[in-house]
Structure 1
Amino acid sequence: MATTTVEPKARKRRRKTRTKNVSPLPAIVASQLKADQINLTPGKEHVICPDCKTWTPITGVLGTPVLVPHHTTPYHDRTTTPRRCSSSSRRITLDTAIDAWRADLAERTEVSATVASRRPTKVLPKPKTSSVPAASQLKPAPLSAERVRRVFRQHQEQCLACMGEVKDRTGQTMPCPDGERLAVTFLRLFRQEPKRQAVREFFARERRRFDREYAGAAPKREAGWAAVLPAVQNADQLRRAAPQGAHPTEGPEVPLDHLVPRQAAEQPEKGRLKCEHCGATESSLVDAVAAGWCLIIRRPHCGRCVDRFPAWTRTSF
């Protein structure tokens, strides 16, 4: 009689908590948590632990729901010694309906997406670039036959056309325009090199001659400066000795009792000033200056009429 072997099956795991130990801490109320802090999907119940802030499964949903015993650090973190969280086996009160939790979660997700779209993007600072020098500040490197020769040799070592490996349809070697241009430039600079060397030597001689003449004229410049230095020092002493606002002792007095020729020609009456606005008169220039008279567009105005015009239009006598 044949016998059949039946594979053993694992018993169905009970949904109740396997341990009778319950944390003495007060129970967590699901209705007091935010929708994104708890997951009430059937078979995937999780909650953020209030102590270690990690997602922790909920066991015993059909009986006494509690938090699964867990550590304060993630399971993959091996850098620290694992320590049991104080909220292990802590009771949780599931007083929130699944439909209400899903609606609240969908609304919160939509609001978060709207806020993220309104949030301005981060302003990245522009990289600091150096300013481009002006055309007058550019210093072109002088061309020399030796430098062009080195560039030409380097081009010949890298260019396939100069090596003769590039051919046309008829099988003939194609010339390289860059190599020809460098060769022509090298030959031109090589022919001009003696003339360029003569010009450089001429400028060097002129520079040395100018330096010798400038050094020879230094005693004459020092002697001329020594001759005028006492006069400059005397003028500085007189300027410092003069009081603020006063004229130098050797200068003439300012004529205040009569008008200059241009101002006298503009006055309608000889020796008298007349206001162009109100017709007031003054007997002399000294009295007019003391009374605050000014010129407005080269016309005299009394102190009362001057205030009618802006300050930038006034000119003192």
Structure 2
Amino acid sequence: MATPTAEPTARKRRRKTRTKNISPLPALVASDFTASQIDLTPGKEHVFCPACENWTPITGVLGTPVLVPHHTTPYHDPTTTPRRCSNTNRRITLDTVIDTWRAELAERTQASATVASRRPTKVLPKPKAHAAPAASQLKPAPLSAEQVRRVFRQHQEQCLACRGEAKNQNGQTLPCPDGERLAVTVLRLFRQEPKRQALREFFARERRRFDREYAGAAPKREAGWAAVLPAVQNADQLRRAVPQDARPTEGRPEIPLDHLVPRQAPAQPEKGRLKCEYCSATESSLADAVAAGWCRIIRRPHCGRCANRFPAWTRTSF
């Protein structure tokens, strides 16, 4: 009986590329790279290639460290033509201790996080620009003939055209449109001045007449106030004498006890909401109702606006 032969097994593949080709370029130095441009993690050594600016593995760390063969562009990109990088198989001198590299990398990471988390300590508010008034709210200053005349005289003293000293190339005197406009305005205001003066005198007479009538009616107003003042003072004294939570019954008819109507239970509002008994306004919660000035009147909720219709002694806070 023949003995069975052993099944062949595959040989273990090498983890990294091995080659005897060495680039003639001078060797790179690990200490020339920053901590973020090189990775010295054991078994995962990489470096940022200065020629093609791609992360490239380092092979032969235990012997002659070199950069593995790589392309300048991704090999799987169909739009580009693969081209071998000039730093292929270039030697690199690993003169940096792993612990030193890790400490520098941690320091850089912490500094970057600190810079990213910085915020300005003071926010400068944007100045609020006031809205311009509407055209109906503008109040133009009334023109005075004397003021316009002074402006016209000042313009004549400063304007060369008004004094006849401004001339063109033909020697003709140039007109001044500003001077003409001011002269027309002065003449118009002097022509309208009598009518304006009569209107001012009319309003002054009406104001004096109103003041005389108001002063003549003062005794009647004082007499009317004097007649109702005792009643007002008495009502204030009675109001102050009543405790805050008490309900005064003086001056009110007695409630008949022979046909009492059974007390009705207050209307139950929707779950989680309060409803005003007077205007049917609603609030989402009790806290919102208290903040809005709600209160109870005869054990029924009322909003702040409706509660002001009732006397103060009838209002009870929640």
Tell me the TM-score range normalised by the shorter chain: 0.3 to 0.5
TM-score (normalised: structure 1):
0.42
TM-score (normalised: structure 2):
0.41
In terms of fraction of residues, the more helix-rich structure is 1
